[in-house]
Amino acid sequence: MIKISPSILSADFARLGAEIRTVEQAGADYIHVDVMDGHFVPNITIGAPVVGALRQVTELPLDVHLMIENPDLYIPDFAKAGSDIITVHQEAVPHLHRTVQLIHSLGKKAGVSINPATPAGALEVIMAEVDLVLVMTVNPGFGGQSFIPATLNKITQLREMIDRTGRDIELEVDGGVKADNIGEIAAAGADVFVAGSAVFNAPDYTQAIQALRDNVK
């Protein structure tokens, strides 16, 4: 059973509450929230107050992707605002084990993400502690980019690493996921799919989400 996590980065920010309700009715499993600081990635988006506002309009798990430096400073705010999953970047955090412990101490699920050029092995040691692994399949910073095919092999490797732990760890992919490539990404072992432009740029969100599901065997 796969999950679809529409990224609000491609939503209409002037009508965010309505967009969330529409995508919830369209069959979304999670709501993916992209937080960017203009330092770790070359773009600036939103902060914890927006997560708090989203919390008022949906019961769906809020899947918060922190593309920021020094996330330890802000994780308590994101937890308090109502995040369910808090994901940090391996490349942004010097003491990853401590950061994962911080997220868990706040009662939230902890995710760790890696950029396209970071090898799967960077997560070998932390795997025993995490609830979710997020593989970036584009360079983070913007919606609407093309999937980088070289990341597929890494998804296969991470699936094997996760299976070896025997733990229930979700393997999420983020960037360039479309109806025409989700099949091979799922075959590589991913089970949660972020989709920004594929959902929010479509005329009908229900059809867009169904088209993603229909292409997974």
Which residues bind to Zn ion, rule: CB under 5 A?
34, 65, 174
Say if residue 52 carries a ligand binding annotation.
no
Instruction: Report, in Å, the least distance between residue 166 CB and ligand DX5.
Output: 29
Helix crossing, 16-25 with 205-214: angle to 10°? 40
Instruction: Report, in Å, the least distance between residue 114 CB and ligand DX5.
Output: 12
Q: Which does 62 bind (CB under 5 to 8 A by kind): Zn ion, ligand DX5, none?
A: none
Phi-psi region of 165 (alpha: psi -120 to 50; beta: other; left: phi over 0): alpha
Catalytic one among 12, 29, 34, 72? 34
What residues have CB less than 8 Å from 40, skipping those under 6 apart?
Answer: 67, 68, 69, 89, 91, 92, 140
Active site residue 29: no
Size of the site for ligand DX5 (CB under 6 A): 22
**Two tokens at 56?**
């008022």
Longest dimension (CA), the chain: 45
34/37 with CB nearer Zn ion:
34
Active site residue 180: no
Catalytic one among 37, 63, 131, 174? 174
Contact residues toward ligand DX5 (CB under 6 A) are: 7, 9-10, 32, 34, 65, 138, 140-145, 174-177, 194-198
